[in-house]
Each structure stands twice: as C-alpha cells, then as structure tokens.
Amino acid sequence: MKAVVIHAARDLRIEERPEEALGAGQLRIAIARGGICGSDLHYFSHGGFGAVRLREPMILGHEVSGHVVACGDGVEGFAVGDLVAVSPSRPCGGCAQCHAGLPNHCEKMRFYGSAMPFPHVQGAFRQELVADAAQCVPAHGLTPGEAAMAEPLAVVLHAARRAGPLMGRRVLVTGSGPIGLLAVLAARHAGAAEIVATDLSDFTLETARAIGADAALNTGTHPVALSAYGAGKGSFDVLFECTGVAAAIAPALATMRPRGVVVQLGLGGDMALPMSLITAKELDLRGSFRFHKEFAEGVAAMRAGRIDVRPLLTHLVGLDEARAGFELAGDRTHAIKVQIRFDG
C-alpha cells in the first residue's frame, strides 16, 4: 500500500509500506480522506516543532476517515462498508493519568503521526489502516471529508469544555485557521451571545463571518482593531487563543473582563505573557491539550446537523499530489483545510 512519509524537512515521499495484520478487536479500514494538520505542516516545513524532531522516517497524518473492509474477531457494532471516523488517540488505560480520568495526558500515549516518542508513532496517511475498533466511531450520514474533521473538532470541543459554560458569553477567538474556525463553530454551538474572530488573512476571516462570527477583524491591516473592546474593564468573558503567538495574546488579554477565562490552544512555543495584567484582572489561564470523549461527541454533533464543518473543506488533492497539498495547506490566503483523497 502507498503511504505519505516524511524523511526530513521538505523531504516528503510517497512510499510502499507493508500491510498490517488484523487482530482481535480490530478493523481493517480503507482510508478515504486525510486532513493535513498544523503539526503535519511543522514536520513538512521544519522537520518538527520545538524540541520534537524527526529522528527516523515517519508516516504522517492523524485526521482520517475510511470504510471498513474487514472486522477482527470479537468486533461488534461494525460491518464491512461502514464509514468510520478514526481517532488517532490511543491511551494505554493503565498509567496514573489514565486511572485519574485524564486519558489525553496518558504517559504512554500512542498518537498517530507523532515524533515525540522514539521509535516514532507511525501515522494514518496510508491507503489501508488497521485500528482498534474502540478508536472508531460510525459516521453514517456524513461524507468522508466531514468524518475526517472529527479529530480537529474534538480538539476545540475539549477546549470548550475547559472554558466552562459558554451560554450567553462574549467570546474572542484569536487566529482563524482551522482550529480557530472550529472554535467559532463550537462557541456558537454552545450558545455564545457574541463571537469575535481575528486573523491576518481576509480569506479566513471571510469564512469566520460565514460560519457565525459576529465580527471578524484583520489585526494585520488594522493593528488596533481590538482596542475598542478593551474599554472600561474589557468586553470578553472567554478567549480561545489559537495562534500560539505572543504578539496576538497581549492585545487579546487587554480586552478580557475581570475573571475571564483564557483557553490556550495554539502551540507556538514558549512566550512571554503580561502577568501583571493577568493578575490584576484575575484571569484564569487554562491550557487545552488533545481530547478523548469529545471525539465521539463531535461525530454525533456533525451527524445531527448541529455543527457543519463543510465550509472549512476548501481543497481535495489526490494521494500522488500530496506534496502539492502540503504546499497549499500552508497558504492561509487560499486554503483552510486541505484533505488528501486515498480512495481514488
């Protein structure tokens, strides 16, 4: 089978990889779609991110969907032909964090397409994948493209849970890439009264407006666009910070009301924060990392029509065009979510 393999920065190859054996409790899945994520782009462009570096060739990808082609012994609830969303998160279930009810912080996590451990955890950008049935969620009624959005949607649903109740709240989303736009959808789904999104790209901001943002501000062309929201003691109850860039965080914090909640999703590396402002406003700074039960919740929300991710699916490329897809995914002026097609 063919797979998308990264060897070093800018060294992306389509290679043949052997078929995996199907075990008890597992599904063999013909992958249909794979979404290119920000972490995939970091491996492609830089060979890693922060202290995480490629040390061996690695199959990329963790946002995937596909059709069941075989069921292992003991599998129930799935049939050949079913469309499934595949969670890349495989906690061990036996470590201290798993026992504490924090499987997203598993000490032995196996997350598709991750160079954090060595040997690396091979990813899911391949024509066929063997996965535990427990990782898979039926996606009847969705398109393969929608089903492959379950992973990034789960990320923002977990962030929304970390933020607390959003009903009637005023929400700021900094960064309108795929995660920021999904945060807009999640906040609207949770009943936010007002949502303001920021970015440097008019293209992504136009999408933010289309999917429910009440205002979408280009802080590149208008650096003081947020200043009006900082009047008095501030305007926003909740901030979803999706850039990981210090230059975006400081002006956003100035718009927060006292005791507002700041949820940090963007992973841009360590940065300096205005701690005096955070202290004086009694802001709650909360990290948000990965997800667990939110994966199935996201699939359910899409199947019920409560969250529509289709406006984010801007481009689809063939497997042999994967490199062009990665180049396109890094262009925020033309693309939001680029997916690779594995089934044709």
Question: What do you get for the CA distance between the two ends of the chain, in Å?
Answer: 13
- The residue segments making up the domain with residue 271 are 154-287
Instruction: Let me know how long the chain is.
Output: 344
| pLDDT value at residue 49 | 86
For the residues 70-90, what does the mean pLDDT come to?
A: 97
Give the DSSP letter string of 162-217: HH---TT-EEEEE--SHHHHHHHHHHHHTT-SEEEEEES-HHHHHHHHHTT-SEEE
Token pair in block for residue 5: 């393999």
pLDDT band at 136 (very low <50, low <70, confident <90, very high): very high
pLDDT averaged over the chain?
96
Map residue 325 onto helix, strand or coil. helix
Is pLDDT of 268 > 90? no
pTM: 0.95
**Within a domain: residue 59?**
yes
| pLDDT value at residue 269 | 73
**Within a domain: residue 304?**
no
**Within a domain: residue 232?**
yes
Same domain? 176 vs 266? yes
CATH assignment at residue 244? 3.40.50.720
Cα–Cα distance, 275 to 281 (Å, whole number): 10
pLDDT band at 109 (very low <50, low <70, confident <90, very high): very high
Is pLDDT of 164 > 90? yes
For the residues 74-86, what does the mean pLDDT come to?
A: 97
Burial degree of 312 (CB within 10 A; 0-12, 13-18, 19+)? buried
CATH assignment at residue 26? 3.90.180.10
Same domain? 237 vs 169? yes
Same domain? 89 vs 216? no
User: Angle 155-263-188 (CA atoms, 0-180°, nearest 5)?
Assistant: 65
For the residues 87-110, what does the mean pLDDT come to?
A: 96
Same domain? 159 vs 180? yes
Is pLDDT of 54 > 80? yes
Same domain? 255 vs 327? no
Same domain? 167 vs 267? yes
Other C-beta atoms closer than 10 Å to the C-beta of 293 total 13
Count of domains observed in the chain: 2
**Within a domain: residue 298?**
no
**Within a domain: residue 303?**
no
**Within a domain: residue 251?**
yes
Tell me how far CA of residue 186 lies from CA of 21, 101, 153, 201, 224, in angstroms.
38, 23, 8, 21, 26
Same domain? 219 vs 336? no
**Within a domain: residue 295?**
no
Token pair in block for residue 215: 């205002």
Same domain? 123 vs 247? no
